[in-house]
Structure 1
């Protein structure tokens, strides 16, 4: 309840979508004064809207307006609202299309909570390419055997998982005799320990389906790197994150902001088209983490200081 109220106070939304559980968690006082749409209502409020909404361009909206604000977990302090624009999402799919060749024939599944930015990849991926989106019930997502059965039955071709969730998914595949239709299993959201994939490769080839590890953070729009994995990677003792997405720039810098030599550990900074606008209502923290990019000649170029360590 406290977290939800905190987010409402910070974001100051004009409209609140809520169900009975949300109303109870927030409490009547938090909702008072807000225009709320009750998702449990027999007749949803949007059924009374005009048949045709105005063209967004007629309202002066562009790709530089915000698509969403997603709040960080708050594990290192107060949750921060990351402001991401439409253009930053659209270019994510444009810049990765040559790797994936997604199409209208793909079936995606919404496995993750929409408060976690992995869901942005799942939702917009299906919509962007005209594919089908399977909505995974929460009780099914909590049971790896039930989830595996669902994606097989539904013909899912694009699966997105955190490594920890994929570990239980692998166990479910080993215990099931059902064949899946996956083209890709895309991992992200946390560091990968490659050895957990050994049982997977004992039953699957390197290419069918292809396992991809993608490193990324909310502040750089979901994904920043791409690393197709093969069976030999399971002997690695580190988490391979591969190469940058083409419209991003990756820097490994020392404590003085200078590039580190090959093989040395440095802090990872990310520049380019995926860098978010900043943190909502936190100009000082935005200035601290979203920095001018001294290595790029483009006017106004910025880079994000991730706090993560890496090496070439």
Structure 2
């Protein structure tokens, strides 16, 4: 970070890393690093927290910006030196068993979706473990009122291909259901701004209808037509086929509860919520 003389960690790599994620290393000389929770308590080995920097490299603050300085440069509770301060980096990291730091993303990329706090960087880090993934950005999109959902934008490495179902399966094996994105968009490259950072505003809208066009199977009965219509209305899609999965299309537990209520109203059936999780497509 610029606020700490640019370099605060280093790592020696004698061979290529085992995964695409390279640890950011250990502290340089005259520098101390802390991984702390929201109450400024040290996090145990492997537990994510925010990275704080102490030592001679920590700057004095932001010129003519006392309020910002007070937020980012705080008194150092681990030092006996008068006036010692910690710099709050905003980076989310964890200690690895070998004493190096694993970078997980930014603290300010934490979001709250349907009552759950989600670290977008944790999802991105999980996807980067796949050998075919070159880069990834996960964000929350709300392209229509009340329809906030996670969307993952992924780019493949050279001569590699990515299958959306494989990406979902990988995430579902290590993350809870609410952290698995409702939509995946595979791009040749992520759009960049003039300063070389990902231009999140330029990321395209997921086209769920287009990705399902080749596998669309229309309803065969009046009941299937009604169910497909309910799926489409709740998920704000133009159409839904009989083999389309409610949750794969972006459905979640709250929408599932609404779907059960609509089925009760339209068909007079008391459908247990469990039944939708066990059979989540309109096919009869």
Q: TM-score scaled to structure 2, two decimals?
A: 0.33
TM-score (normalizing by structure 1): 0.30
Q: Which has the higher contact order (CA 8 A, sep 6+)?
A: 1
Structure richer in helix, relative to its length = 1
Q: Which has the larger radius of gyration?
A: 2
